[in-house]
Structure 1
């Protein structure tokens, strides 16, 4: 897949405070043209200029794939924001201009599934909103399970409850002691049913682990999370083959950060979250712990390339084609 993205200038035409922490933004092309087509589960990367700072965050498209006059995204203000979510909440208003990348889909509906079981946690509801349009249009069998902390944090819950998917949606609210029993849910899956999960890492891990424990094939479990993988792991030596430069990558520091700090090479990286593929780099020597969502499992197993923004070395020495 090409990692070169079409970049589009857009204007913010609506901003809505959905919950105390989440805003919905409507984006239209600056020149008034239709935006690129997309499929349910797609995301865009939003670039935000704040003086001399540039933020790039990935956000799921939550509007109908049938309507390309505008896109809608939901943005949660993150407590440990890198700057992007705070910028969107504090500085972006109707009339603001942003730059976005054309949509990409790493979380598509699998046409092989006989039933689609969608599991959302918090802001993880957003990619499912666009998928619901597709599933309903296809006449597919589907159900949505949506968990959140408290009634006031249930983004878009009223729209779901009162809309065409209401009978297929179940809500789980922690503050009301309405927990989601994953073991019971997954135990009742038909043999051709697929699981989709998006939300906080503990929820994603719980779904993956519960499915594995119940013998569900990995190919039937789909997940997405837009968050920088922690730069955990032992320090290692990074070698840039083209110049012979050696850099020590300490624990808590990404390969990309180490290279940028040393000014040893220039690397394009649009997302810094392992989803866009722009920083894909060839591995010449060493083994990598892949932490991106861009490469397939087969591609990761080949150990040919990595995303330097999130992945780390498994070996004491890693040589890259840089």
Structure 2
């Protein structure tokens, strides 16, 4: 069921321009206390409020050392089609800015059963791996990081990766220089106990999953994360809110959550609007959902008991929800 988050007032103590499109933000608790502990792969929800009263809420991976909870670090890419959150972080957040952040949650944890960990990052997808590198090193685990990006200026944190404590475990792939990541070659030599982790653009994630399956690598050994809400594509459908007796039409390009907020007084809590926080999880009474979230497990999605209203849609023409 939905995760119960504690919200914390944080203050920005450093802002670094890592690439033309990516900034690194360092956050501490406003009350000076240590931040909650976390594990590599964890994310937090960052809530922002503009001077005009508009509110934004995005999920960002924690990229700092999990052993040091004096501060958190997150990396934020300025998105071309920003819903407002990344633009707010880039254009309005500076040293001294107060933000509200959630306690960490981890949907992308290191699998302790793996004999070797193969990390594959694309672009901003490097962020969760930075924390995992610290964790893997502390465990004395066998690991390697493969980081692909378009051009030298777009490789965030590449200098510290190439010269820092993990340098011997890191390989960089730069498209513009002709250094391309060959997934088939990489996977062909994987040991039977190796696990693969991928974070980055959807085409990279899809390619990793497809190549692994093609080579007979079990799905349980492939882990992925993508913080980008699935577009609200697909045809229109009807949603019935059973408790309130309301029936509404969810048009193409509109999420169930947006339709509820626009046309009813029913309140639905949702921190992330990206299918990762679990706060808008709602019970399905009739019909089936097309799941696009990363919060529910495959078994939970198959059971069709609940769904995330911020990203998931109806599989048929009609859904009845426990609202």
TM-score scaled by structure 1? 0.99
Please give the secondary structure, in 2, of the residue aligned with 1:62.
coil
Asked if 1:103 corresponds to 2:104, the answer is yes
Q: SS at 1:56's partner residue? A: strand
Q: SS at the partner of 1:87? A: helix
After the TM superposition, which residues 71-220 of structure 1 pair with which residues of structure 2 at under 5 Å, given as runs? 71-220=72-221
What displacement does 1:48 show? 0.4
Query: Whole-Å Cα distance in 1 between the matches of residues 2 and 249 of structure 2?
Result: 30
Q: Counterpart in 2 of 1:29?
A: 29
- 1:38-77, aligned counterparts within 5 Å? 38-51=38-51, 52-77=53-78
User: Displacement of 1:184 after TM fit?
Assistant: 1.0
For residues 78-124 of structure 1, the C-alpha deviation after alignment (integer angstroms, 9 at most, x for no partner) is 11100111111111000000000000000000001000000000000
| SS of equivalent residue, structure 1 residue 259 | helix
| Aligned pairs, number | 322
The answer (yes or no) to whether the contact 1:237–1:317 under 8 Å persists in 2 is yes
1:2 deviates by 4.6
Report the Cα distance in structure 2 between the residues aligned to 1:313 and 1:263, rounded to whole angstroms: 19
CA-atom RMSD in angstroms: 0.8
Question: 8 Å contact 1:75–1:88 — kept in the other structure?
Answer: yes
Find the aligned partners of 2:251 and 2:178 in 1 and give their Cα distance: 42
Structure 1 portions without partners, runs of 5+: none
Cα distance in 1 between the residues matched to 2:251 and 2:119:
38
Q: More deviation in 119-128 or 44-53?
A: 44-53
Which secondary structure does the structure 2 equivalent of 1:209 belong to?
helix
The equivalent residue for 2:226 is 225
Q: How big is the shift at 1:216? A: 1.1
- The structure 1 segments of at least 4 consecutive aligned residues displaced by more than 2 Å after TM superposition are none
Contact 1:11/1:30 (8 A) holds in 2: yes
CA positional deviation for 1:244: 2.0
Alignment deviations for residues 125-180 of structure 1 (CA, whole Å, 9 cap, x no partner): 00000000010111111000000010011100000000111111110001111111
CA distance in 1, matches of 2:17, 2:76: 10
- Cα drift, residue 183 of structure 1: 1.1
Matches of 2:217 and 2:265, distance apart in 1: 45
Q: Distance in 2 between matches of 1:302 and 1:65?
A: 34
1:208-287 correspondence runs (5 A) = 208-287=209-288
**Are 1:114 and 1:141, in contact at CA under 8 Å, matched by a contact in 2?**
yes
Q: Does the CA contact (< 8 Å) of 2:77 and 2:86 recur in 1?
A: yes
Question: In structure 1, what is the equivalent of residue 14 of structure 2?
Answer: 14
Residue 263 of structure 1 and its aligned partner are, at CA, apart by 2.0
Alignment of 1:286-301 (within 5 A): 286-301=287-302
